[in-house]
Amino acid sequence: MTDSGGFCKPRMNTFLEYLCLQKAQKALFVSRKLLKNFPVGGKIAKKAEVVHNGVPIVGERLTCRSLHTSTPVIGMVAFWRPGKGLSVALEALRELQHKKKDFRVRVVGGFVSESYHLRFKKMADHYHLTSRITWVGSTSHVNAELEKMDIFVLPSLNQGLPMVILEAMASGVPVVASNVGGIPEAIRDGIDGILVPAGEPKLLANALGDLIDNGRQWQ
């Protein structure tokens, strides 16, 4: 939980995990990046192993999708808290708007607090994005939401190996994500999706704009 916010909480989480691993038979990490960043010296290092997350494919075979409208839907799914990069995404969407791109946005998932949610609603209003955004909130039907999206974005500032990008890939939705944590272990840039440096809204906007303009690349 390195994106929990504040100075003490992430360090306390790491310390508690370290104590628990002392007596564990095995220490499983969902990405090589997480293993590299965790203090796994001594006995813990001998127990450590990387087992990547996985999700089932939706249906027996992925269908060949295309941008189904002239107004593509850009979707995001997360439990929104510091480290998920929602402010970066909103800044990127403002850049897209300045470039006269037509799009709609679905923001799926709950927020760490109501005040945190209100902060981003105000930000969207300030950027004149409110009419484009649907705030879906929490849902247990993520696959149904993915079916409504033409492009999936995960703008995280730090990350392990998020299940949601695997779910998007398994649903056949193109992924644009930050090049952080274990994400590059699931997505090869330009092959399985598009990776951008974290915290760079203009580069994220460029990647989204290129994908919207290039239907062949999207497909």
Picking from 120, 169, 117, 160, the residue whose alpha carbon sits closest to that of residue 142 is 169
Any residues with CB less than 8 A from the CB of 32 and at least 6 apart, and which?
Answer: 50, 182, 185
Name the phi and psi angles at 192, rounded to 5: -100, -10
pLDDT digits over 80-135, tens only?
Answer: 998 999 999 999 999 999 999 999 999 999 999 999 999 999 999 999 999 999 99
For residue 1, what pLDDT band results from cuts at 50, 70 and 90? very low
pLDDT digits over 53-77, tens only?
Answer: 788 776 666 666 666 667 899 999 9
Q: What is the pTM of this model?
A: 0.80
Work out the mean pLDDT of the chain and round it to a whole number.
86
Of the two residues 85 and 6, the one the predictor is more confident about is: 85
Structure token digits, residue 35: 């293993």
For position 40, what pLDDT does the model report? 63
| CA distances from residue 131 to 28, 99, 107, 134 in whole angstroms, order as listed | 44, 17, 13, 8
